[in-house]
Amino acid sequence: MNRALVDILACPSCKGSLRLESAECEATKIVTGSLACGGCGVEFPIRAGVPRFVTDHPADSSFGYQWNTFRREQLDSATGVSLSAARLWSETGWRAADMVDRRVLDVGCGAGRFLEVMARTGCRLVGVDVSSAIDAAAATIQQFDNTDLVQADVFRLPFRDGVFDDCYFIGVAQHTPDPERAIRALPRLLKPEGRLAVSAYERRRWTLWNGKYLLRPLTRRMNKRLLLGLIRATMPVLFPLSELLFRIPVAGKVFAFAIPVANYVHMQDLGWRQRYRLAVLDTFDRLAPDFDLPLSEEEMVSAMHASGIEAVRRQTPHGLNVVGVRAAR
């Protein structure tokens, strides 16, 4: 971590200032040490260059395991295709050229697919994840000096108020126990007129009839290694089958809705092997998380308005992507 990160951190319990203690550095980075709260006296460890405000979180069994197993599958640098960059810029509506020197927060960074894209813009970037996926992210962004990582819970984020210019929360809210509360936790971190971008699974009348929701009562309770083993064992059959069924005009959409295999048959930029590996990852991602609580557009917009976000608008017609700005004081 960079020493300057301490200046924007705060105790997640009492919001008191934190002081750096027993720091050990390599070059310009702090590798180990602790952060002590001047208010309540609690200490938080720094391990492998990451301040740890959470340890042994239940999400380690699903998302921690997932992203340490599949760290590279979604990285543009690994796939040779700019899918993560395209998604980041389309869902936020921001431009890479405008991000220089802005302080940006990535909440729920996972293995760092969007961190890698954003770090290249020259912004001052902080990635947060509640699980041990933060260690996968650390490997992803190790080349970038402008990026810090923090292991913390979205409901107890350890930052001072009003320190970020921009915050994005992409594809994460539905995997928290209270998506609307998670969204409401973010605006306080933004400067006046700071920008917030949120995307989540959208809930419509038919959403919960999707095949994954019929299986999830069983799969989310399974041992995650066993679940992944079953997915890998059945994918040699399910992937070719879905290749055929999902391509059928009209009926293909019905099959894709009913069969919980994440085969993106119309993703022409990826080769067959890449889509196969991605199908294993995203099928696991559909079935493993403890929480999968899609939101309606009304619920997302209401949560943003209730926490001081203005000029709220839906960004694209594909998926539930909403952006806005924090009210000026």
pLDDT tens per residue, range 31-57: 999 999 988 989 999 999 999 999 889
Phi, psi dihedral angles at 43 (to 5 degrees) = -110, 145
Q: Do residues 197 and 280 share a domain?
A: no
Q: Do residues 245 and 183 share a domain?
A: no
pLDDT at res. 248: 97
pLDDT at res. 153: 97
**Domain with 307 in it: what CATH number?**
3.40.50.150
* pLDDT tens-place string over residues 75-114: 999 999 999 999 999 999 999 999 999 999 999 999 999 9
CA-to-CA distance for 117 and 277, rounded, in angstroms?
A: 21
pLDDT at res. 56: 85
Helix, coil or strand: residue 149? strand
* pLDDT tens-place string over residues 265-278: 999 889 999 999 99
pLDDT at 329 over 80: no
Q: Do residues 277 and 302 share a domain?
A: no
Q: Do residues 29 and 81 share a domain?
A: no
pLDDT at 215 over 80: yes
Q: Do residues 25 and 82 share a domain?
A: no
Q: Do residues 190 and 309 share a domain?
A: yes
Which domain covers residue 1, as residue numbers?
Answer: 1-49
pLDDT at res. 27: 80
pTM of the model: 0.96
Mean pLDDT of the chain: 96
Q: Do residues 175 and 223 share a domain?
A: no
State the average pLDDT over residues 290-307.
Answer: 97
Last residue of a domain, one of 16, 32, 49: 49
Reduced 3-state DSSP string for 166-205: EEEEECCHHHCCCHHHHHHCCHHHEEEEEEEEEEECECCC
* pLDDT tens-place string over residues 119-149: 999 999 999 999 999 999 999 999 999 999 9
Q: Do residues 97 and 16 share a domain?
A: no
pLDDT at res. 55: 85
The total number of structural domains in the chain stands at 3
* pLDDT tens-place string over residues 220-233: 999 999 999 999 99
Question: CA 286, 287, 288, 290: dihedral to nearest 10 degrees?
Answer: 90
Q: Do residues 70 and 190 share a domain?
A: yes
pLDDT at 235 over 90: yes
Q: Do residues 84 and 44 share a domain?
A: no
- Higher-pLDDT residue of 58, 187: 187
pLDDT at res. 268: 85
Q: For 14-28, 124-138, 231-245, which range has the lowest pLDDT when averaged over its residues?
A: 14-28
Helix, coil or strand: residue 218? helix
Q: Do residues 1 and 62 share a domain?
A: no
DSSP-derived secondary structure letter, 259: S
Which residue(s) pair with 321 in the sheet?
A: 199
Q: Do residues 230 and 256 share a domain?
A: yes
